[in-house]
Amino acid sequence: MRSNLNHVWPNPLYVTGTDTHVGKTYACAALCAALGRDYWKPVQAGLDGPTDSEIVAKLSGARVWPERYRLRRAASPHAGSRDEGVVIQPTDFVAPTARPLVVEGAGGWMVPYATHPMVWQSDVVRALELPVVVVARTSLGTLNHTLSTLRAIRADSVRVAGLILVGESHPENEADLAIMGETTVLARLPRLDETGAQFATLVETIRAYR
């Protein structure tokens, strides 16, 4: 079973989203639990509440590697790092393990990681040499957001591994995204509330896609 699952899901892989709060962290937690992978968030921006690493550790029980940068303000990494006088460079990031790994990005694809010099998320992903899985909504508006994200990733010379859709079933949007986006829908997950209730449903859903 494990070998079939990891045949479908690239190892390691980088998870981005079409937007903030699209369900990316829950998707990462489900991937880690279903596939038996470690988790790493290179840049955490926002330390007031539970961090993404803490959420994934609590839900999945996965081994979580320390972030390369922990920025206090909940903002784009370029703004948070500027607050603290931190200079982020693509060469700062080295994947922490040879074990199967899920890497979670910050927000949507076009979120900048630094300025002076300018560092885009794509610069970090290319330095890590990882394929990208995009987490997107199933609902109205997803065609524009998701297809724009796919186009931007490919324009940055990064490989798209597929989509994870989050929300209620919408077969028309799912089919359109696969065809128009020239990609594969790897899974569709129900949206969870902030407590992570019914997380096991996400894990079983990931396991069912192979």
Q: Which are the catalytic amino acids?
A: 41
Secondary structure of the chain as H, E, C letters:
CHHHHHHHCCCCEEEEECCCCCCHHHHHHHHHHHHCCEEECCEEECCCCCCHHHHHHHHHCCCEECCCEEECCCCCHHHHHHHCCCCCCHHHCCCCCCCCEEEEEEEECCCEEECCCCEEHHHHHHHHCCCEEEEEECCCCHHHHHHHHHHHHHHCCCCEEEEEEECCCCHHHHHHHHHHCCCCEEEEECCCCCCCCCHHHHHHHHHHCC
For residue 182, what are the CA distances in angstroms to 60, 119, 156, 177? 31, 28, 16, 8
- β partners of residue 101: 38
Distance CA 31, CA 122 (A): 22
